[in-house]
Amino acid sequence: MKQLFAVIRSQSAPWQASRSMEYQKEWEAHASFIAHATAADEIVDPLSTDPWSSQDILRVSRMTPWTLRLGSLS
């Protein structure tokens, strides 16, 4: 069964502090990116294909299982 994970990412050197998220480099490609997994270790490889990971704009700081309590993702 698919599980949700909260992935905490932090800004790194290429992040431009003077710009909002929507105006960062590769915003559209990053916004369309999503990873589905059944375990946290299955997220690491797919995250590497996110343009903001491959260009070191964001780095994974922490990953933890997350329970969606309101609404749904269907």
pLDDT at residue number 20: 93
| 68: its two tokens | 């969606």
pLDDT at residue number 73: 67
Nearest residue to 54 (alpha-carbon basis) of 29, 21, 22: 29
Q: Does the residue 11 lie in any domain?
A: yes
Secondary structure (3-state) at 22: helix
Q: Does the residue 71 lie in any domain?
A: no
Per-residue confidence band for 58, with pLDDT thresholds at 50, 70 and 90: very high
Q: Does the residue 72 lie in any domain?
A: no
Q: Does the residue 74 lie in any domain?
A: no
Q: Does the residue 73 lie in any domain?
A: no
21-55 pLDDT, tens digit each = 999 999 988 888 767 777 878 888 888 888 899 89
> Looking at residue 44, what DSSP letter applies?
H
Domain with 47 in it: 4-66
Per-residue confidence band for 56, with pLDDT thresholds at 50, 70 and 90: very high
Domains: count for the chain: 1
Per-residue confidence band for 4, with pLDDT thresholds at 50, 70 and 90: confident
Residue 60: phi and psi, rounded to 5, are: -75, 125
